[in-house]
A and B are shown apart, each in its own frame.
Chain A
Amino acid sequence: MNNSATQIPTDNSTYHIPEAALDLISGPQWLHKMRQTARKVFNDTPLPQRGLALWRYTNPESFLVDHNQMVGAQSCEGCNKTTEEVRQQFNDGNLAGLAIDCCGRDIEIQTGPDAEQGLVILPLSVAMDTHEKLIQKHFGQLVGSDTGKFEALNTALWHDGIFVYVPDNTTIENPVHLLRYGDGAKTTYYPRLLIVLDNNAQLTLIDEYSDGSVEHDNGYAYVNGAVEIFGAKDSRCNYIPLQQHTSSTRIYLNHRTRIEQGASTFTIPLVFGSGLSKENFGVYLDGSGAESNIYGVLFGSGHQQFDNHTLHHHRASKTLSNIDFKVVLRDRAVSAYTGLIRIDQNAVACEAYQGNRNLLLNEGTRAETIPELEILNEDVQCSHGATVGPVDPEMVFFLTARGINREEAIRMIVSGFIEGTLSHIPNNLQERISNIVQQRLEVN
């Protein structure tokens, strides 16, 4: 429990990125320029106005860092139980690749036989040399200094990240698993991920965020991440971001995907961690026949605060999108969900669906839901729905009448609630997620 009181800052210049900060990071000249622009944009952009649009529920000041107060990540203590489990899976041949990224400073990568088919997993710093053209073409296109103030912060200060590439007509059967570890109190971590799938390529990737250290109470850790995914013609990407930070970590993450003609993506956000988080999952449907599905599960307990956005932007005709975002809250947890579907005027014959269901397990929880539609032409089929409510008392009655105790009944109902979503993720992970949810339901 982080019990220190923070005074709300009024003078934002304290939070400017110092010029010297960039000199410490190496890289090609074009990247250095990009960082300088981002630094300037960050320093010059006022904080988003509280109360407007996407900042209704979270104080933007929470995502500022006083660079003088923060320490760089020290030594990564990321080699915990999860690392061992994932290593074991890799050794058993169940993963196509594995990357362990400690605060963007120390990146360990292993690839299996799939690398021979052309699967590339590299630290971004290395890929800058080996795949310079690919990177220059894509890097910063979806999440960069013009995306927003906090994206500019990441773009200026990210240290190293991960690059994943799958060439034409290549299907990577086993998943790739990325482990990204933040560090302890008063540390900053700016994760960065770039995924490029070429024509007709297929990939499943688990992108797991957590902390190497245990909970701490002498100041929060700060994570600000950016993920860019490009799916070329007819490609298929299953992207599973799993967020498991401790409650002493604040996290701001922006995930953006762009898909071309005939391409499809499944994005499965599994949101469990962090004391205060703001995560953005956006997909641009840029080619005819493109299809995007976002199936999310969020579980909140204690004093956790979540603020999630989804965006489906239909920029081409005959595109299809679907969202099902499920939220379970207990204790004093708070969740805000804002989902926007936008269909451009020239994107005709599109279909878009969106659902947000919120299950509140006790008094004291709060759920906000804002499913938005902006439809700019008539030739569409579009709907959204949202529900908020407690566990259905009739279901509880039905189960308890059959001799099941109340706690167990609620566990069963919650499992049932998220089951459909978990069916979209690899088996090994399904089991882990079910266990996490069951544990979170038990702890008092």
Chain B
Amino acid sequence: MSDFVKVATISEIPPRSMKSFEVNYTRVLVCNVRGHFYTVADECSHDSAPITDGKLENDQVVCPRHGARFSVVDGSVLGPPAIVPIDTFNTKIENDNIYIEVD
């Protein structure tokens, strides 16, 4: 069922930035951490709303509403009020294109 889907080219997401996409009705956030691309669910586990408007600080994303912090590498919680991790998605680069795997 799961396939890698192209979401963007690497030039569209410069270092220290992130961008939101919708694949199979799932909203994901693709983050560029010093040239490495990571994809997490664009949904804070504290209030189920998007994280898009938050900040990317190194490999951490900070939710804009209540300040919850997550690792974009493994989705783990790094700061309250969140208590459970967010989903992560396999991400690969081929020919300057970013592909992610959403089941």
Chain-B contact segment, one of A51-59, A170-178, A313-321, A393-401: A51-59
Instruction: Mark interface residues in B12-47 (1 if CB within 8 Å of A CB, else 0).
Output: 000000011111111100000000000000000001
Q: With A3-B3, A3-B5, A59-B27 given, is the CB distance from A8 to B49 under 8 Å?
A: no
Are B48 and A5 neighbours in the complex by a CB distance under 8 Å? Answer: no
User: Is B52 part of the contact surface with A, judged by Cβ < 8 Å?
Assistant: yes
User: Is B85 part of the contact surface with A, judged by Cβ < 8 Å?
Assistant: no
Q: How far is the CB of B55 from chain A (nearest CB, A)?
A: 17
User: Is B10 part of the contact surface with A, judged by Cβ < 8 Å?
Assistant: no
Q: Which of A6, A50, A303, A305 contacts B50 (CB 8 A)?
A: A50
Q: Which residues of the partner chain B approach A45 to less than 8 Å between Cβ atoms?
A: none
Q: Which of A3, A6, A50 contacts B21 (CB 8 A)?
A: A6
Q: Which of A1, A2, A3, A8 contacts B27 (CB 8 A)?
A: A8
Are A7 and B19 neighbours in the complex by a CB distance under 8 Å? Answer: yes
Are A51 and B49 neighbours in the complex by a CB distance under 8 Å? Answer: yes
Q: Which residues of the partner chain A approach B7 to less than 8 Å between Cβ atoms?
A: 5, 7
User: Is A102 part of the contact surface with B, judged by Cβ < 8 Å?
Assistant: no
Q: Which residues of the partner chain B approach A6 to less than 8 Å between Cβ atoms?
A: 21-23
User: Is A423 part of the contact surface with B, judged by Cβ < 8 Å?
Assistant: no
Q: Which residues 37-72 of B sit at the A interface, judged by CB distance below 8 A?
A: 47-50, 52, 65
Are A56 and B24 neighbours in the complex by a CB distance under 8 Å? Answer: no
User: Is B78 part of the contact surface with A, judged by Cβ < 8 Å?
Assistant: no
Question: How many residue pairs bridge A and B at CB < 8 Å?
Answer: 48
Majority secondary structure, B binding face? strand
Q: How far is the CB of B98 from chain A (nearest CB, A)?
A: 10
Q: Which residues of the partner chain B approach A7 to less than 8 Å between Cβ atoms?
A: 7-8, 19-22
Are B21 and A57 neighbours in the complex by a CB distance under 8 Å? Answer: no
Are A56 and B49 neighbours in the complex by a CB distance under 8 Å? Answer: yes
Q: Which residues of the partner chain B approach A241 to less than 8 Å between Cβ atoms?
A: none
Q: Which of B21, B47, B65 contacts A8 (CB 8 A)?
A: B21
User: Is A74 part of the contact surface with B, judged by Cβ < 8 Å?
Assistant: no
Q: What's the tally of chain A residues with a CB closer than 8 Å to chain B?
A: 18
Q: Which residues of the partner chain A approach B49 to less than 8 Å between Cβ atoms?
A: 50-51, 56
Q: Which residues of the partner chain A approach B65 to less than 8 Å between Cβ atoms?
A: 51
User: Is B6 part of the contact surface with A, judged by Cβ < 8 Å?
Assistant: yes
CA distance A267 to B25 in the complex (A): 29
Q: With A4-B5, A8-B52 given, is the CB distance from A51 to B47 under 8 Å?
A: yes
Q: Which of A5, A51, A276 contacts B5 (CB 8 A)?
A: A5
CA distance A7 to B9 in the complex (A): 12
Q: With A3-B5, A7-B19 given, is the CB distance from A276 to B50 under 8 Å?
A: no
Q: Which residues of the partner chain A approach B22 to less than 8 Å between Cβ atoms?
A: 5-8, 59, 62
Considering the complex, give the chain B residue whose CB is closest to the CB of A59: B27
CA distance A413 to B59 in the complex (A): 48
Instruction: Mark interface residues in A1-33 (1 if CB within 8 Å of B CB, else 0).
Output: 111111110000000000000000000000000
Q: Which residues of the partner chain B approach A59 to less than 8 Å between Cβ atoms?
A: 22, 27, 50
User: Is A275 part of the contact surface with B, judged by Cβ < 8 Å?
Assistant: yes
Are B25 and A3 neighbours in the complex by a CB distance under 8 Å? Answer: no
Q: Which residues of the partner chain A approach B8 to less than 8 Å between Cβ atoms?
A: 5, 7
Are B6 and A5 neighbours in the complex by a CB distance under 8 Å? Answer: yes
Q: Which residues 270-295 of A sit at the B interface, judged by CB distance below 8 A?
A: 275-276
Instruction: Mark interface residues in A74-104 (1 if CB within 8 Å of B CB, else 0).
Output: 0000000000000000000000000000000
Q: How far is the CB of A218 from chain B (nearest CB, A)?
A: 14
Q: Which residues of the partner chain B approach A62 to less than 8 Å between Cβ atoms?
A: 22
CA distance A303 to B23 in the complex (A): 11
CA distance A5 to B102 in the complex (A): 10
CA distance A275 to B19 in the complex (A): 23
Binding site for B on A (CB under 8 A): 1-8, 50-51, 56-57, 59, 62, 275-276, 303, 305
- Give 8 new A-B contacts, CB below 8 A, not counting A7-B19, A56-B49: A5-B22, A5-B23, A7-B7, A7-B22, A8-B22, A51-B65, A56-B48, A59-B27
Binding site for A on B (CB under 8 A): 3, 5-8, 19-27, 47-50, 52, 65, 100
Q: Pull 15 A–B residue pairs with CB atoms less than 8 Å apart, ordered by A.
A: A1-B24, A3-B3, A4-B23, A5-B21, A6-B22, A6-B23, A7-B8, A7-B20, A7-B22, A8-B27, A51-B47, A51-B49, A59-B50, A275-B25, A276-B25
7 nearest CB pairs, A to B: A51-B49, A5-B7, A8-B20, A6-B22, A5-B23, A5-B21, A5-B5
